[in-house]
Amino acid sequence: MNHFLDLHKTDPAALRGIIDHARAMKDARVGRTRGAADDEQPLAGRMVALIFEKPSTRTRVSFDVGVRQMGGQTMVLSGNDMQLGHGETIADTARVLSRYVDLIMIRTFDESVLIEMAEYADVPVINGLTDRTHPCQIMADVMTYEEHRGPIAGKKVVWCGDGNNVCASFLHASAQFGFEMVFTGPVQLEPEPEFVGLARKAGRKVIIERDARKAVEGADLIVTDTWVSMHDSQSSRERRHNMLRPYQVNAELMSHAKPDALFMHCLPAHRGEEATSEVMDGSNSVVFDEAENRLHAQKAVMRWCLGV
Ligand code: CP
Ligand code: NVA
């Protein structure tokens, strides 16, 4: 049994195996309707709990559909409706759920909830996003990059804007998949030193560059995300917008990157804020391929967790 908590906690060979498996499973579904079953049914007889303490479109739907395609069943639970949100401990919740389900995916606020859930559950636990990281997203992103451009190792990935949870998992991925990272954004919103240090310790080049145009020079991939994440206070909105405006990904900024540089965004996007529609819908954008690949990547993650 394997938990999937963060990319730096998972062996690089296992991560590579998951991506290759996801690709093969995606290829095997070509021409099928979305609800059609896979030929293989590795989750037959398995029940998966999907717990959400924050909103979600992609994570919720892609996990649910993925489990069903593999023959399993799902239960989508909102944190608020559970006793978890009303005083029951995480440890007790984990022990109880382990008596009913075979796998737990949780999206929560503080990462300590995820860690405690994994500590006390007898079944695998998957990180569906916390305030600090979002590993499933970056598995889909690496898969998407490689589908379009081949191996990501050695490439230059530029993160524009807020050094948030998605950025953190990109830094973990830089360590594990061997690419270079540049962060461009305001000093107040830099990624945590722990994440930068981890990538550097693995021998990766990580550059912090205040000037967005300089940062994207020679970029193979440009990535951004919302300026106000779900865990950020709404009162910080105006301050964040003011700080982040120079880091908007627009056609002018893209023109300083390599001509074939890809553009990614985990979505949901706030068009006209962190990225313009011209870029989101432009020929270098792969944002909807990323969204689709959440499905395939997570199916492979679940199979790895369960060893099936
Ligand atoms: N990218 C992502 O995780 O989207 P949702 O918040 O819709 O799940
Ligand atoms: N950084 C965003 C990602 C959403 C998928 C958030 O945490 O709200």
What DSSP string describes 269-294? --BTTTB-HHHHTSTTB-HHHHHHHH
ipTM: 0.99
**Measured CA distances, 297 to 15, 111, 224, 301 (Å):** 10, 22, 20, 6
Q: Is the dihedral of CA 23, 29, 34, 37 positive or negative?
A: negative
Distance between CA atoms of 290 and 284, rounded to whole angstroms?
13
Ligand-binding site membership of 231 (annotated)? no
Shortest-distance ligand to the CA of residue 274: 2
Claim: this prediction has a pTM higher than 0.95 = yes
Please write down the HEC assignment for all residues of 150-172.
Answer: CCCCCCEEEEECCCCHHHHHHHH
Residue nearest atom 3 of ligand 2, based on CA coordinates: 229
Among the listed residues 201, 137, 194, the one whose alpha carbon sits nearest the alpha carbon of residue 170: 137
- pLDDT (0 to 100) of residue 80: 87
Distance between CA atoms of 52 and 72, rounded to whole angstroms?
19
- pLDDT (0 to 100) of residue 86: 87
Among the listed residues 275, 166, 245, 257, the one whose alpha carbon sits nearest the alpha carbon of residue 215: 257
Q: What is the Cα 152 distance to its own chain's centre? A: 16
Ligand-binding site membership of 42 (annotated)? no
CATH homologous superfamily of 7-134+293-306 equals Aspartate/ornithine carbamoyltransferase (3.40.50.1370)
164 CA to centre of ligand 1 in angstroms: 14
Domain boundaries, the chain: 7-134+293-306, 137-290
Distance between CA atoms of 142 and 131, rounded to whole angstroms?
21
Among the listed residues 170, 185, 178, the one whose alpha carbon sits nearest the alpha carbon of residue 216: 185
Around ligand 2, the residues with Cβ closer than 6 Å are 129, 164-166, 225-226, 229-230, 266
Residue 162 CA: which ligand 2 atom is closest?
1
298 catalytic per annotation = no
**Residues pairing with 66 in the sheet:** none
* Structural contact between residues 128 and 140, judged by C-beta atoms closer than 8 angstroms: no
- 233 by Cβ neighbours in 10 Å (0-12 / 13-18 / 19+) ranks as exposed
| Low-confidence residues of the chain: pLDDT under 50 | none
131 catalytic per annotation = no
CATH architecture of 137-290: 3-Layer(aba) Sandwich (3.40)
137 catalytic per annotation = yes
Contacts of residue 269, Cβ cutoff 8 Å, sequence gap at least 6: 226, 275, 280, 287
Residue nearest atom 2 of ligand 2, based on CA coordinates: 229
Phi-psi sector, 202: left (phi>0), alpha (psi -120 to 50), beta: alpha
* Structural contact between residues 258 and 220, judged by C-beta atoms closer than 8 angstroms: yes
**Residues pairing with 221 in the sheet:** 157, 262
229 in helix, strand or coil?
coil
34 catalytic per annotation = no
Q: In a mutational test of the pocket of ligand 2, which residue from 230, 234, 270, 294 has the highest number of ligand atoms less than 8 Å from its CB?
A: 230
Residue 252 in tokens = 């002018």
- pLDDT (0 to 100) of residue 84: 87
Residue 203 in tokens = 């021998």
- pLDDT (0 to 100) of residue 227: 98
- pLDDT (0 to 100) of residue 85: 81
241 CA to centre of ligand 1 in angstroms: 21
Contacts of residue 197, Cβ cutoff 8 Å, sequence gap at least 6: none
Q: How many residues does the structure list for the chain?
A: 308
Half-sphere exposure for 101 (CA within 13 Å, toward CB): 23
Among the listed residues 124, 160, 140, 128, the one whose alpha carbon sits nearest the alpha carbon of residue 243: 160
Q: Is 266 in the pocket of ligand 1 (CB under 6 A)?
A: yes
225 catalytic per annotation = yes
